[in-house]
Amino acid sequence: MGRSVEWTDEAIVLSAARLGDSDAVLEVMTPHHGRARGFIKGGLGRRNKANLQPGNQLAVTWRSRLETNLGRFTVELVHSPLGLMLGDGSRLAALSAVTATVASTMNERELHEGVYAGLKVVLDLLEHDSSGMQDWAAALTKLELGILSAVGFGLDLSECASTGTKENLIYVSPKSGRAVSGEAGMPYKGRLLDLPAFVASGAVSAPSLDDVINGLKLTGYFLERNIWIVHGKGQPAARERLFSSLLATVQPHP
């Protein structure tokens, strides 16, 4: 009989699924152990339910006889961002979207510290929301770009796929995932994806709402093609709802 496995880490709650009357299967993202799942006795009971809300930051210990088993979590709440979001539908929708996106794209037990760090950035911007939705939506786009890179499908936005120029990169080829300049892409622009300036340049200044919508459209296309469809599932419903709500803010009402 091999030794049991135990580890301790910080974690962000992605989901908590009910098991029986009040037990839960907790799913978290951690910096040093990747996406992890574990059983919590009474996790969704009256005393513990509030601690397991998506977006909460926990200190967790995971134990199991075998590393490949579901295991059991013991948890302690470190911080909850929800208090400052209550009553703000757009931020709550974004919280649901980002946790669902990470849960649906990260393989269990694969270490991706950059994805964890990007998730924390999005949650911090959602909690404080000092500059409006453009900031957190841009951070969500950059997190999704990081996810694509982490799982081996990173976009090449360094130069034009056709000419090699590094100037005026405003499109992305949906086939190759490579940038295309305005001049080279003009004859084919109806078949290309828009490349917002904040994605192309990595600029930190707040982009326009149109820019972040195009950014999320870009990352969503490649996440769906390379991950979600491959695993027999579509875009998470929470992300789809968020994108539709952002789109509705810039489209004129009939």
Can you read off the two tokens belonging to residue 221?
């296309």
Tokens 């961002």 belong to residue: 81
- DSSP-based helix, strand, coil % in the chain, nearest 5: 40, 25, 35
218 domain-assigned: yes
The domain tally of the chain equals 2
Instruction: Please tell me whether residues 212 and 238 are part of one structural domain.
Output: yes
Lowest mean pLDDT among 50-64, 66-80, 157-171: 66-80
Per-residue confidence (pLDDT) for residue 119, from 0 to 100: 98
Instruction: Please tell me whether residues 100 and 39 are part of one structural domain.
Output: no
232 domain-assigned: yes
Instruction: Please tell me whether residues 73 and 137 are part of one structural domain.
Output: no
88 domain-assigned: yes
Q: pLDDT digits over 189-224, tens only?
A: 899 999 999 998 766 567 899 999 999 999 999 999
Domain boundary among 49, 80, 111: 80
Instruction: Please tell me whether residues 136 and 40 are part of one structural domain.
Output: no
Instruction: Please tell me whether residues 121 and 230 are part of one structural domain.
Output: yes
228 domain-assigned: yes
* CATH number of the domain that residue 46 is part of: 2.40.50.140
Element (H, E) at 10: strand 5-19
Instruction: Please tell me whether residues 237 and 145 are part of one structural domain.
Output: yes
Write out the residue range of the structural domain in which residue 216 sits.
83-157+195-248
Q: Model pTM? A: 0.92
Mean pLDDT in residue range 151-156: 97
> What dihedral do alpha carbons 193, 196, 198, 200 form, nearest 10°?
50
165 domain-assigned: no
